Structure 1
Amino acid sequence: MTVRSAFFDLDGTLVDSLADLADAVNHMLSSLDRPALPLAEVRLLIGKGAHNLVRRALKSDDEHIVQQGLARFLEYNHGHIVDKSRLYPGAREALESLVDNGITLAAISNKNEALSRLILGELGIAPLFEVICGGNSFAEMKPSPLPLLKTLERLDISATEAVMAGDSINDIQAGRRAGITTIGCCWGYGAPEELRQADYRADSCSDVSRIILTGKSP
């Protein structure tokens, strides 16, 4: 496996953002006189973008209400993006190791692009990435392969020269549909069965960099 670029999901892969996302969800729910959700329930809502998260948190398909909630969620999350969010242990070192070895990095999230850029900037790792895109960057988001395919085009590389690392089925399916080698990150928000189809599975950020650089499982 010769890798020129590594694609990473954000929430649950590089960044433990669950507490901040839960705070934003519960602020939104409170503003609409809805009961708060426990952390464990919010965790299950993450992965398919803010609109889906808000719709499921509200338990409503009324688009007017969902849009109200989405605006309040995004506004709060923007203002509290790293109150509690932190990089996972070894994430910064793993990314720096890849860059030092000539690997180009791309962040491909279903989080809003502006929020993706903000959180990476606040955590001090945005300069490591050649490409940063979010759930609103293209016409489709993961598990569609479109964001990955567009990133391949931008970097002028083939699918066989890239790796997609993520913690959920959205990342694994997007990678497989794009013909890209996948690494399932076992510490994130996705259930273990979501990672079964991944080409590799990693238990830590250092495992991810080791797989990419050596082509071998830990």
Structure 2
Amino acid sequence: MTVRAALFDLDGTLVDSLGDITDAVNHMLASFGRPSLAAPSVRQLVGKGARDLVRRALGTGSQDDITRALDLFVAYNSNHIADKSALYPGAWEALHQLAESGIRMAVISNKNEALCRLVMEALGIVRQFEIICGGDTFSEMKPSPLPLLRVVERLGVAPHEAVMIGDSINDVQAGQRAGVTTIGCAWGYGGEKELTGADHRAVSFRGVTAILLKGSA
């Protein structure tokens, strides 16, 4: 395996953003007079984009309600993008090591692209990535292979020369469908069961870099 590009998921992979996402969800729910949700409950809703997140958190409501809920969520999250969010241990060092090794990097998230850029800027990693894509960047989001295929095309690498690194079944399935090798991150939000189909499994960023750098040698 020759690795020329690393494609990272964001929430639950590079960034632990659950606290800020939970706060934004509960701000939205309070506006509708709904009870708040604990972080473990919100964690189960993360992964398929903001609209799906607020729809499931709201439980019931018209399309107008969901649109209003989405606006409330995005506005609050934008204004509190990194109150509690932080890089996972070893992420900063791994990104610098990969950059020094000549591996090109992109973020492919189902989070809104604008929110991706905001949190990455706040945490000081936005300049490490050539491409940043969110769930609203393309016509489809993960687990569709489309975002991965578009990104590797833009990077000028073949799918078999790229690796998708993520914590959920969306990342694993998108990689499989795109012909991209996958690394499942055991520290994220998806849980072990969602990573069973990954080509590799890592319990730390040291493990991720070991796999990638071995493949780039």
TM above 0.5: yes
The residue that corresponds to 2:93 in the other structure is 93
The answer to whether structure 1 residue 119 and structure 2 residue 122 are counterparts is: no
- Residue 40 of structure 1 corresponds to which residue in structure 2? 40
Q: Which runs of 4+ in 1 moved over 2 A?
A: none
Give, in angstroms, the shift of residue 30 of structure 1: 0.2
Alignment TM-score, normalising by the size of structure 1? 0.98
Deviation string 1:136-177 (CA, Å, 9 cap, x unpaired) is: 000000000110000011111100110000000000000000
State the secondary structure of the residue aligned to 2:81.
coil
CA distance in 2, matches of 1:148, 1:62: 33
> What residue in structure 2 maps to residue 67 of structure 1?
67
Match of 1:164 in 2: 164
Amino acid at match of 2:89: P
Other structure's SS at 2:130 match = strand
* Partner of residue 57, structure 2: 57
The unaligned stretches of length 5 or more in structure 2 are none
The residue aligned with 2:19 is 19
For the residues of structure 2 that align with 1:61 and 1:170, how far apart are their CA atoms?
26
The answer for the alignment partner of 2:7 in structure 1 is: 7
Task: Please tell me the root mean square deviation across aligned C-alpha atoms, in Å.
Answer: 1.0
Residue 202 of structure 1 corresponds to which residue in structure 2?
Answer: 202
For residues 92-116 of structure 1, give each alpha carbon's deviation from its aligned partner in whole angstroms, at most 9, with x where no partner exists: 1001100000000000000000110
CA distance in 2, matches of 1:192, 1:132: 26
Q: Deviations 1:66-119 (Å, cap 9, x if unpaired)?
A: 001000000000000000000000001001100000000000000000110111
* Deviation per residue, 1:190-211 (Å, 9 max, x gap): 0211000000000011111111
Aligned residue for 1:53, secondary structure, equals helix
Secondary structure class of the residue paired with 1:184? strand
Cα distance in 1 for residues equivalent to 2:7 and 2:61: 33
Q: Deviations over 1:108-136 (max 9, x none)?
A: 00000011011111100111100001000
Name the CA distance, whole Å, in 1 between partners of 2:196 and 2:60.
Answer: 31
Counterpart amino acid of residue 181 in structure 1: T
Deviation at 1:52, TM superposition (A): 0.3
Find the residue that maps to 2:110 and give its secondary structure: coil
Corresponding residue number in structure 2 for 1:150 = 150
| Structure 1 residue 191 corresponds to structure 2 residue 191 | yes
Q: CA deviation at 1:62?
A: 1.8
Taking only the aligned residue pairs, the percentage that are identical comes to: 61
Unaligned runs of 5+ in 1: none
**CA–CA distance in 1 between the matches of 2:3 and 2:98?**
10
Distance 2:176 2:150 in 1: 15
Secondary structure of the corresponding residue to residue 138 of structure 1: coil
Q: Distance in 2 between matches of 1:132 and 1:209?
A: 20
Aligned length: 216
Could you tell me which residue of structure 2 aligns to residue 141 of structure 1? 141
Structure-1 separation of matches of 2:162 and 2:87: 23
